[in-house]
A and B are shown apart, each in its own frame.
Chain A
Amino acid sequence: MPPTPAPAAIPPTPAAVRRTRVLLALVALAMAALGAFFVATMNLPTWARILTGLERSAMPLLRGFVNPNWGVFDLASRAMVETVFMAVIGTVIGGLLAFPMAFLAANNLLGSRLLAFPGKTVLVAIRTFPEILFAIIFVAAMGPGPIAGILAMGINSVGFLGKVFSDVVEGIDAGPSEAIRAAGGNGMHVFFFSVVPQVLPEFASYLLYRFEINLRAASVLGLVGAGGIGAPLIQRLQFRRWDEISMIMIVIVVTIIVVDTLSSSVRRRLV
C-alpha cells in the first residue's frame, strides 16, 4: 500500500474567482438598491390600509375558497368547454397562418438571410405585444364575444409558432433534399417529400405546446370581454362571490392540469 500523501495546504482562491465574486456581490447590491428605491418611490398603500383590507376580505375569501359552490359547476364547465373550443380554433388559425410564415422566415429554404429578414421581423413584431392587448383591441374593434378572443389568440400564436416552425425548418437534415435533387426532383418534390415529412412531427408538438399556452390565455380573455370562462368569473369578482369564484377556479385549474399532462405526454413521445 502506497503511503498516504500528507494533506497539502488549501491553495489560495484564484484571482479570477475572487474577481467574479466581487463582481457578483456588486451586481446583487446594485439590484437590491434599485429594488429598494422602487419600493420607496412606488405608490404603495399604507400598512394600515393593507391590514384593514385583509381584515375585511381575507376571512370571506378563505371561507369561500374552502366551500366551493357546486351550484355554478354546470355553468362553469359549460363555459370551460367553450374556452377549450376557443383555444383550439385560435391555435389552429395560428398554425395555418404560421405554416407559410415558417418557410418565409427560414434562412435555409430561401437561400439567403436577407430574404428571410422581412418574415422574421413580422414575427418579432407580433410576439412583442401581450396577448391580452390584442384581445382588448379586437374587443374594442368588433365588440365583446368569443370571436374577438379567438382572433386575438390566432394572431398572437402566429408570432410564436412562426418563430419555432422556422427554427424547425432551419434545423432539418439536408440529406434527403439533396438526394431528391440528385435523382432529378424539382423544388416541389423536395418540399413535399423531404421538407414537409421532416418537419411535421415537430410542428405537431409545438402546436400542442401552443395549445397549452392558449388555453391559459383563453381562461382569462373573458376578463376583458373576449369570451370564455373569464366572463362569468369577472362578474363574480365584482361582487366578491368567493364561493362561486372558487368553483370556477377549480374547473379552470383541473382542466388546465389535465390538458397539460395529456399534451406533454404526447409531446415527449413525438420529438
Chain B
Amino acid sequence: MAVPDPAAGQAIPLRPGLAARLLSWGTWGIIAALFVVSVQQTGFNLEVIGEGIADFFRFFRRLTPDWRALPEIWRPLLETLQIAYLATIFGTLIGLPVIFLASFNTTVNRPIMWVARSILTVLRSIPDLLYAAILAPILAVGPLPGVVALTIFTMAVLAKLTSETVEAVDPGPLEALRAVGAGRNRVIAYAVLPQIGATLTSYVLYIFEINVRASVVIGLVGAGGIGNLLNRYLSFFDYGGLATLIVVIFVVVLAIDQLSVWARSRLI
C-alpha cells in the first residue's frame, strides 16, 4: 500500500464528515430503539429463544428421511418447477413493455410513467404467497393460481429492477437514433435493448431463482406444486416423508441456484 503523496496531487483519505457519521450512528440508534420497543411489546426474551431452539432440535432429531416417499415426490416437484418456469416466462413477456413505460427516458409521457410506477409499487408490496392465497379459491386449487400469482410478482419485480437499468443507459445511442427520426419502438429496439440485454437476462435468472423458492411453498395455500405434499406430511405427522421432502427441496433449489449464479456471473 503506497502512502498518498499530497505533493503529487494524491488525496489523503479524510475521516467521513460529521453528517455521514451522525447518519450512521443515528441509524444504529433507531435500529436499537425499535428493537427494545419490539421486545417489550411482544414479550420476547432469551428464555423464549432457548425454548424455541430446544424444541427445534427435538423436532429435528425426529426428521430421518424415509426414501420410500421419493416416488410420490417427483410429480409435485416437477409441477413446482413448471410453475416457476411458466411464471418467469409469462411475467417477463408481460413485464417487458411495462419496463419502458416506467422509465423516464423511454416512456410515452409523464402521467403514464407515474401511473405505471405506482401500479408497480403497489403490486410489488404484496407478497407472492398472498397473491396465491387470494387466487387459489377463485382459480380452482391447482397449479393455475400459482402460475398467475408468480406471473404478477415476476412482472412487478422485473419491471422495477430493469427500469432502473434502463434509466442508467448511455443516452448517446438513444439521441443518435432520435436524431435520424427513429420512433420510440425503434429507439428501444436498437439503442436500449442492446445496452440492457445482459442485465435483463441476469435479472430474469435471478427472479427465476426467487420463483423456484416461492413455488415450493405456494402449495401450502392451495396453489399447486410440492407445498401440497408438504401440508399433507405435516398434518399426518409423517416425519419420514417430511424429511425426504426437505432434502429433495434443498438439493433441487441449491442446484438451480448454483447454475443460475454461475450463468449470471458469466453474463455481467
Q: Are A249 and B130 in contact (CB under 8 A)?
A: yes
Q: Assess whether B39 is interfacial by the CB under 8 Å rule.
A: yes
Check A178–B138 contact: CB distance below 8 A.
Answer: no
A61 at interface (Cβ–Cβ under 8 A)? yes
Residue of A nearest to B215 (CB): A130
A43 to B6, CA, bound (A): 71
Q: Determine if A136 and B122 form an interchain contact, defined as CB atoms under 8 angstroms apart.
A: no
Q: How far is the CA of A122 from the CA of B42 in the complex (A)?
A: 30
**A interface, by DSSP: helix, strand, loop or mixed?**
helix
- Nearest Cβ in chain B — how far from A162, in angstroms? 16
Asked if B125 and A85 sit within 8 Å, CB to CB, the answer is: no
A224 B220 Cβ-Cβ under 8 A: yes
Return the contact of B137 from the options A49, A57, A137, A141 (Cβ within 8 A). A57
Interface size class of chain B, counting residues whose CB lies under 8 Å from the partner chain? 35 or more
Pick out which of these stretches binds chain B: A2-10, A69-77, A252-260.
A252-260
Separation of A34 and B85 alpha carbons in the complex (Å)? 9
Within 8 A of B (CB), among A231-255: 233-234, 237, 240, 245, 249, 252-253
Name the interface residues of B100-148: CB closer than 8 Å to any CB of A: 121-122, 125-127, 129-130, 133-134, 137-140, 142-144
Considering only residues 8-32 of chain A, those with a C-beta below 8 Å from chain B are: 31
Stretch from B22-30, B65-73, B165-173, B176-184 at the A interface: B22-30
The answer on a CB contact under 8 Å between B86 and A38 is yes
Contacts of A161 in B (CB 8 A): none
A138 within 8 A of B: yes
Residues of A near B82 (CB, < 8 A) are 38, 41-42
A175 touches B125 (CB 8 A): no
Q: Are A45 and B142 in contact (CB under 8 A)?
A: yes
- Note all chain A residues with C-beta closer than 8 A to B31: 92, 204, 207-208
The one of A88, A129, A136, A201 in contact with B250, judged by C-beta atoms closer than 8 angstroms, is A129
Q: Report whether A130 and B216 are in contact in the complex, using a CB–CB cutoff of 8 Å.
A: yes
Q: How many angstroms between the C-alpha atoms of A35 and B257 in the bound complex?
A: 20
User: What is the minimal beta-carbon distance from B214 to any residue of chain A, in angstroms?
Assistant: 7
Chain B residue, CB-CB nearest to A208: B27
Contacting A at CB under 8 A, from B54-100, are: 55-56, 58-60, 79, 82, 85-86, 89
B138 contacts A92, C-beta separation under 8 Å:
no
Given A89-B35, A128-B254, A130-B213, A216–B139 Cβ distance below 8 Å?
no
Residue B48 CB within 8 A of the other chain? yes
Q: How far is the CA of A109 from the CA of B133 in the complex (A)?
A: 45
Q: Are B138 and A86 in contact (CB under 8 A)?
A: no
**Are A257 and B125 interface neighbours, CB within 8 A?**
yes
B140 touches A45 (CB 8 A): yes
Please give, as numbers and ranges, the residues of chain B lying within 8 Å of A142 by CB-CB distance: 51-52, 55-56, 59
14 examples of A-B residue contacts, CB within 8 angstroms: A38-B86, A45-B144, A84-B38, A85-B37, A130-B214, A137-B56, A137-B59, A201-B24, A204-B27, A240-B137, A252-B125, A252-B130, A253-B126, A270-B27
Spell out A's residues near B (CB within 8 Å): 31, 34-35, 38-39, 41-45, 49-50, 53-54, 57-58, 61, 81-82, 84-86, 88-89, 92-93, 124-125, 127-130, 132-133, 136-138, 140-142, 146-148, 150-151, 173-175, 178, 200-201, 204-205, 207-208, 216-217, 219-220, 223-224, 233-234, 237, 240, 245, 249, 252-253, 256-257, 260, 266, 269-270
